[in-house]
Structure 1
Amino acid sequence: MTTGTWRLTTLVIRRERLIAPFWMALLAVLAAGQAGRYAQSFPTARSIADFAREMAANRALTAFAGEVHSPTVAGMAVWKNADAIYTVLALIAILTIVRHTRGEEESGRAELVGAGVIGRFAPLTAALVFTAGAMVATGLICALAMISTGFDVTGSLSFGAAITAAGLVFTGVGALAAQLTEGARAAIGLAALVLGVSYLVRFTADGSGLTWLKWLSPQGWSHLVRPYGDDNWAALLPALALAALTAALAYLLAGRRDLGHGLIPQRPGPGGIGAAAQPPVPGLAPAQGTAGRLERRLRRGRAGPGRSGALHPGGVQTGRLGPGVPAPLHRLARGVDDRRLPVADRSQPRLRRRPLPPAGPAAAAQGGTRGPRRAAARHAGQPAALGGRPPVPRPRGQRPHPGGRGPDAGAGRR
């Protein structure tokens, strides 16, 4: 069922070889760069502690960034950027997993690849392997960036684990959404809706002081890890469990659905265009869209079949339509019969081709262009400036003189 997974995984890696390292490095620079700025702005422990106390007293900032768990430079850097990193990484995970699952099916490439020796679950497995690996690599890179700045190793590792947990949860959510819907946009919208609800629950929990609400939010679980504080690793267990559950459900749905289809069907379009448009022929449905609007305007504009040129099965009667009818229908009513093919009208005068100007010696004899005159002069053996004349035209059938001269070349000697 997973035949060809490694080849598809290498294909995904090759397609993401430029964008994935970019956003990994961007998040690592965001985490370590904020810590470096705080280290320069608050050189003493007392100054950073006063800053942490002031930020913790602001309930609005707490709702947006979360609670302050450690009044240190590293703790305040995590408080400043952790929630943004969790949210951005979750969104990247959704876009990546949907692009390589539902996006491939929607474009038709999954069906083309499936014509080879590829297992049913190989595309989903390859997308999950790459996306989950990218989430783990991002957390590890961020942890190494914090360690290289000079912060605690345990706190840095817990911070990287919290980042990875947020990415893994929404990797599974995106894979499940890709199996539920029939389009990539719908899958992204459904997974982004889950992300928005998770953020709203976490926002409400930190803004209201109801810490227990964080246990209902996947982003809240990453906040409950509290890096550089008490490092609560147990808060990662719900994230890992939800990631495994959503991935298992994605596999279950992938094995039971048809390629290109989902559990949630697409909404059908409008059933009709209203009761104003009646079917022109009994048993036929009314025309849709632009054709229906033109038909209704035609019905309103004509005054009657006897006076205004009505459409009938035999063709089009000559007449005039009422106001409000488009110009093409006026031309149609003036006698254009679309059943006949266009036939050439022999009564019309034919176009005459313009004769080409003479060239060569004849053109020089008739006073042609400058080029033929020079050619004729060279043919006569004298330059044009000395008044040379062109050779005498030879009648048809007469052979040239054996000596290469004209027929009267020896008349002077005789």
Structure 2
Amino acid sequence: MTQAFDARAQQAVLESRAETALELARRLGADACEVGASVDQGTGVSVREGDVESVELSRDQGIAVTVYLGKRKGSASSTDASDASIKSVVEKAIAIASYTGEDPASGLADAELMATELPDLDVHHPWALDTDKAIELALACEAAGLAEPGIRSSDGASLSSGEGVRVYANSHGFLGSQRGSRHSLSCLLIAEDASGMQRDYDYTSARDPRALRDPAEVGRSAAERTLQRLGGQRPQTGRFPVMFDPTLASGLIGHLMSALAGGAIYRDASFLCGRLGETLFPEWFSLAEQPMLVGGMASSPFDGDGVQTRNNRFIEQGRLASYMLSAYSARRLGMQTTANAGGARNLRLEAPLESREALLSKMDRGVLVTELMGQGVNGVTGDYSRGAAGFWVENGQIQHPVEEFTIAGNLAGMFQGLVGLGDDIDTRGSIHSGSWLIDEMTIAGS
């Protein structure tokens, strides 16, 4: 195992280093400065067919400094946070700034926006887990999956556990820091029948190790998902309803947020440019973030600019209510920051929910998608085309697995065509969503 990680001590060290960098930047003539520093430590093990494949013990640290000379900006970073390295990083950042052109939008976020409420959001739960115990848990997960009739072999089970500290400080006098942890366990299995081999997986992830699912349950679930894929066929080509499994529906929200990001908007590189106030979804659909959620996977009281985070509503009763803005992108657009430097935090849907059975019945005939392949999403036009696998639905009932087909549409049309959301919410990430039923997409199969 790696040496013991004292998060509080590391936090104090990083805060001191950040203050050292700020003071040095001031003495070297910077008009303003901001510093980000972090340290992370983790353990990861992987097993396959009952044998240990790898044990990884990691420790990473870094410091990044951005200085401003008027409206000129320079940034430099290092994985060495010693005093000598900090001095070098600050000097390089100032040298870079002296050569860059002026940018009217450049600079720190306004001082009055700095976070003043910095509560403990309960996101740090270290796991006193030695290597032998980690291997034991991964082996138990895999063994449970392999024990299921019909499973041929394993492509491995993995367990990871990590914790870290991040610090942000700037020359407004703001200094914020946060300790955090994340733990996960996964299993990938292989099954085979006359039609060929199939594989699938399942996983569990949480801030607090006590919230992880039982390893045997994860293994059995991975086996069940794998066995369900045997006998896959190509679906017929046509226009059909498509239902996205919860594990994939969060990706649709991710595409939406990428299109809402200020950087894409001011570059005129999003299909949502100039569409504030327009109706994108049915009126029963709203989307909000809760960055101060206690225990949330992405909770933080301050954003990457040091701005106090707040609840934001990006979609309000179907309408595009807000873009996702940092201080810089807000200035470029002549707007106000939404405290989203670094992205959105803990996205939650607000809408009527239905059971999976009810959604399948509403679909009647179409495809339930459980796997997507490829990167065929164009954020500029909204065009969407991806390889897929899943299940064919007839008369509201799953009939058989389908594979080797493509689903295609346009995100704007898909959002407008949302006809139902499932109550089968996947809570493992920062985006919580159930299944999405889209009224119609193009299926290219046989």
Q: Shorter-chain TM-score: which interval?
A: under 0.3
Structure having the larger proportion of residues in strand: 2
Higher helix share: 1
Please tell me whether Structure 1 or Structure 2 has the larger radius of gyration of its CA atoms: 1
TM-score by length of 1: 0.24
